[in-house]
A and B are shown apart, each in its own frame.
Chain A
Amino acid sequence: MHVLFVEDEVKIANFVRTGLKEQGFVVDYCDNGNEGYVRATENQYDAIVLDIMVPGKDGLTILKSLRLAGNNVPVILLTARNELDDRIVGLNLGADDYLAKPFFVEELVARIHAVVRRTSGDRQNLLCLGPIKLDRIAREVTCNDITVELTTREFNLLEYLMRSPGRVFTRTQILEHVWGYDFNPNTNVVDVCIQRIRKKIDPVEGSSWIESVRGVGYRFRKLES
């Protein structure tokens, strides 16, 4: 997937670029709005990640110009200043999603996947890992072709883990993605939820698709291909 990333803060840009590349994205990066705008109009991207506060044309102006020109490329805004205001203006201008700093790169990846899916139809709605198939549109999970009944939270959690098999997620990360920003972080809700999912999808006790990483969190078992 080809993504344009416009951000002036070098250190943020570094880890975001690294993170996106690890997830298999091809990232075009630029550190100012004017260049960003030129690139956005000249190339066909799958998604654009725009920081609102950049030198030159700011993120909102770029977004506005793109939409006025009839360019419907999915846009995710990164906001830091007066986040609510910017968020609202951005959404009204036609942004597809927003992410407030500081954010997890995993979250950005999830959002990019989500907006791309939303705009490009069914292309990536099916996640298949071993015997487990997860349909994002129908919100259905099957294990060895047997339907597994999952609650909303369980489904979201499984989907989040399955998207990056082998990648470690901390409890906080999971909590934020599945439950939202301000849910009381020091609870065992994640563990309980994982236990329930395991009971539903794991073949036998002791060998789980969702691995615990001691002292850190969880990851979906990476299949040796």
Chain B
Amino acid sequence: MVGLRSFRLRIALLSATLAGSTLVGFAGISWWLIYDAKVSRLDAELETQLLMAVRPRVQTNWQAYETSLHFAFGSNSQTPITIKAESNNGEILYQSSEWSGDLNLKSLLPFRPYQLLPPVPTFNKKSPISRRIQPPKLSQFTTQHTKNGIWRVGAIAFPRHSVAIAVSLNGIDREMATIRNVFLISIPILLLLVLGGAWGLSGSTLCSIQQLTAAIAQVTVKGLDRRVPIGATDVEFLELIQVFNQMLERLERSFKQASRFSADAAHELKTPLAILQGELERTLQQVEAESDVQQSLSSLLDEVRRLSGIVRKLLLLSLADAGQMSLHRVEVDLSDLLNEMLEDIELLAPHLEVQTEILPGLKVQGDRDLLVQVLQNLIGNAIKYNLPDGWIEINAYRQANVVLVTITNSSKDIPESDRDRVFDRFHRGDPARTRKVEGTGLGLSLAREIARAHKGELTLDPTPSGQTAFTLTLPSEVIPRHGVSSIGAS
């Protein structure tokens, strides 16, 4: 039933089925009614003609009578009409040559008295006419199937003879066939029209839904202020759109609240942290060197700094969420930054084999402090999550109008399920959240926000097993034409 997952198709098929069954039903009934009417008319004519056979005639007269029947039934000569006249004692007075022997006249019984006149009033009881002329008796009219066709047969019994007329139903059948053909052609055409109409109509209805979908698709963290325009939407969708817009409003409000909350919280934390840190620092200098007090003050100071770091990152993240991470853009030479950091790798992890390919003069416009933070985070991770006797590879190059920095290191494989989550806040590769590997789990998340604030991106690259690679992409500074930059800079 996958095909019927489409609402549009279902609507079209449903309307076609409904219209189809209705049409077929109507066609069937009217076909039958027309047939019935035609047969009734035939019966009436049959009755009239039978009554005209009141007198027994000679052979030729029967023939003329038979011929006149063709005119009477108004049909062309292709409709066979046969008659059989019989005297009361069983003698056949006349029988058409085409009279089908298997026509069963017995089935026409019982004859009913034919009421030509209204019932005779009582005072006229002894009227000579009523006494002299016995009313003829008409048979029931039936349809009989014989070898050479279908016949409508009727008979009349007069006092001295009886006459039976059989009219072939071929003519009516032909007419009914024509009508049937008209139905057979027109119904499918109508069905197709209905199908197409329903398809088109549901399509135009779904147009509103598609608009809605497009609007929803544009709702991201940065586009929470978007609303679906009501415009000339159908009344039925008005409510949906209104409810959706209200939902967006609530979402926007609570999102703003949440991000303002973390910004405020971070801010409020700063002053007490500053005091704590300042006092710790001051006391640290005053107590006896290398005393237990100084050592514990020192470790307290470290914890305060760790706390400050988290607060700072949270504030940056909440600013990024609110789309308010503003950058103090200056020209930053990524090549220089990276070369400076190579020294750190050597200091931090002299056992690691380092390979670099850093193109000189990779300049971007960006916030120096923040970009330093991103690169330090990436290099820090490359060291932290490396293998003993592992390696780090740093590639920096320009491609079209972006600068790419790829930092690859040997590592344990990141489980497939975790790959999507490495940029999640407070996510750490180490599920036990032990402090064996230091960090807050905010670094990568923040690094990516910083990259995005620079209209760049930070991605986890697909790599062969046993290594991890992150690529930082930043829009390159437009390379100025020859000489212009030096003039501009001087």
**What 0/1 readout, one digit per residue, does chain A (183-195) give for beta carbons within 8 Å of chain B?**
1111111001100
Question: Is A182 touching B271 in the complex (CB atoms < 8 A)?
Answer: no
Other-chain contact of A19, B282, B299, B308 (Cβ < 8 Å): B282
Question: Is A193 touching B304 in the complex (CB atoms < 8 A)?
Answer: no
Question: Is B282 touching A182 in the complex (CB atoms < 8 A)?
Answer: no
A185 to B383, CA, bound (A): 13
**What 0/1 readout, one digit per residue, does chain B (289-300) give for beta carbons within 8 Å of chain A?**
110001101110
Question: Is B340 interfacial (CB-CB < 8 Å)?
Answer: yes
Question: Is A2 interfacial (CB-CB < 8 Å)?
Answer: no
Question: Is B298 touching A102 in the complex (CB atoms < 8 A)?
Answer: no
Using a CB-CB cutoff of 8 Å, which residues 1-50 of chain A contact chain B? 9, 11-12, 15-16, 18-19, 22
Interface size on A, as a range, is: 35 or more
Q: Describe B's contact surface by its main secondary structure.
A: helix
Question: Is B347 touching A18 in the complex (CB atoms < 8 A)?
Answer: no
| Known A-B contacts A170-B298, A180-B372, A216-B290; A103 and B328 likewise in contact (beta carbons under 8 Å) | no
Count chain B CB atoms within 10 A of each CB in A16, A84, A192 and give the residue with the most. A84
A106 to B282, CA, bound (A): 10
Tell which of A58-66, A85-93, A128-136 binds the partner.
A85-93
Question: Is B188 interfacial (CB-CB < 8 Å)?
Answer: no
A81 to B324, CA, bound (A): 13
Question: Is A199 interfacial (CB-CB < 8 Å)?
Answer: no
Question: Is A85 touching B326 in the complex (CB atoms < 8 A)?
Answer: yes
Question: Is A168 interfacial (CB-CB < 8 Å)?
Answer: yes
Question: Is B343 touching A215 in the complex (CB atoms < 8 A)?
Answer: no
Question: Is A183 touching B376 in the complex (CB atoms < 8 A)?
Answer: yes
Question: Is A126 interfacial (CB-CB < 8 Å)?
Answer: no
Instruction: Give every chain B residue within 8 A of A127 (Cβ-Cβ).
Output: none
Question: Is A100 touching B343 in the complex (CB atoms < 8 A)?
Answer: no
Question: Is B369 touching A12 in the complex (CB atoms < 8 A)?
Answer: no
Question: Is A161 interfacial (CB-CB < 8 Å)?
Answer: no
Count chain B CB atoms within 10 A of each CB in A11, A88, A170, A176 and give the residue with the most. A170
Count chain A CB atoms within 10 A of each CB in B282, B290, B298, B306 and give the residue with the most. B298
Question: Is A105 interfacial (CB-CB < 8 Å)?
Answer: yes
Tell which of B97-105, B245-253, B310-318 binds the partner.
B310-318
**What 0/1 readout, one digit per residue, does chain B (431-455) give for beta carbons within 8 Å of chain A?**
0000100110001000000000000
Question: Is B373 touching A182 in the complex (CB atoms < 8 A)?
Answer: yes
Tell which of B30-38, B273-281, B395-403, B408-416 binds the partner.
B273-281
Question: Is B277 touching A151 in the complex (CB atoms < 8 A)?
Answer: no
B380's nearest neighbour on chain A, judged by CB, is: A184
Other-chain contact of B298, A9, A193, A217 (Cβ < 8 Å): A217
Instruction: Give every chain B residue within 8 A of A214 (Cβ-Cβ).
Output: 290, 295
Instruction: Give every chain A residue within 8 A of B350 (Cβ-Cβ).
Output: 192
A187's nearest neighbour on chain B, judged by CB, is: B348
Using a CB-CB cutoff of 8 Å, which residues 150-201 of chain A contact chain B? 151-153, 167-168, 170-173, 176, 179-189, 192-193, 196
| Known A-B contacts A102-B304, A151-B343; A91 and B328 likewise in contact (beta carbons under 8 Å) | yes
Question: Is B460 interfacial (CB-CB < 8 Å)?
Answer: no
Question: B206 to nearest A CB, angstroms?
Answer: 45
A103 to B294, CA, bound (A): 19
| Known A-B contacts A182-B376, A192-B348, A216-B295; A15 and B369 likewise in contact (beta carbons under 8 Å) | no
Question: Is B343 touching A153 in the complex (CB atoms < 8 A)?
Answer: yes
A84 to B327, CA, bound (A): 7
Question: Is A207 interfacial (CB-CB < 8 Å)?
Answer: no
Question: Is A84 touching B319 in the complex (CB atoms < 8 A)?
Answer: yes
Instruction: Give every chain A residue within 8 A of B285 (Cβ-Cβ).
Output: 22, 167-168
A222 to B316, CA, bound (A): 40
Question: Is A67 interfacial (CB-CB < 8 Å)?
Answer: no
A84 to B438, CA, bound (A): 26
Other-chain contact of A80, B271, B290, B305, B309 (Cβ < 8 Å): B271
Question: Is B347 touching A102 in the complex (CB atoms < 8 A)?
Answer: no
Question: B326 to nearest A CB, angstroms?
Answer: 5
Question: A91 to nearest B CB, angstroms?
Answer: 6
Question: Is A152 touching B376 in the complex (CB atoms < 8 A)?
Answer: no
Question: Is B160 interfacial (CB-CB < 8 Å)?
Answer: no
Question: A98 to nearest B CB, angstroms?
Answer: 10
Using a CB-CB cutoff of 8 Å, which residues 79-117 of chain A contact chain B? 80-85, 87-88, 91, 100-106
Instruction: Give every chain A residue within 8 A of B315 (Cβ-Cβ).
Output: 83
Question: Is A213 interfacial (CB-CB < 8 Å)?
Answer: yes
Instruction: Give every chain A residue within 8 A of B384 (Cβ-Cβ).
Output: 184
Other-chain contact of B290, A16, A172, A215 (Cβ < 8 Å): A215
Question: Is B23 interfacial (CB-CB < 8 Å)?
Answer: no
Question: Is A181 touching B309 in the complex (CB atoms < 8 A)?
Answer: yes
Question: Is B324 touching A85 in the complex (CB atoms < 8 A)?
Answer: yes
Question: Is B325 touching A183 in the complex (CB atoms < 8 A)?
Answer: no
Count chain B CB atoms within 10 A of each CB in A80, A88, A171, A192 and give the residue with the most. A80
- A sample of 16 cross-chain residue pairs with beta-carbon separation below 8 angstroms, ordered by A number, consists of A11-B275, A15-B278, A15-B282, A18-B282, A84-B367, A85-B326, A91-B328, A101-B274, A153-B340, A168-B285, A170-B301, A170-B302, A181-B309, A183-B376, A189-B347, A193-B347
New contact pairs (6) apart from A104-B277, A104-B281, A216-B289, CB-CB < 8 Å: A12-B278, A182-B373, A183-B376, A185-B305, A214-B290, A216-B295
Give the interface of B toward A (CB within 8 A): 263, 267, 270-271, 273-279, 281-282, 284-285, 289-290, 294-295, 297-299, 301-302, 304-306, 308-309, 312-313, 315-316, 319, 324-328, 340, 343-344, 347-348, 350, 367, 369, 372-373, 376-377, 380, 383-384, 435, 438-439, 443
Closest 8 CB pairs of A and B: A215-B295, A102-B274, A15-B278, A216-B298, A186-B438, A101-B274, A102-B273, A11-B275
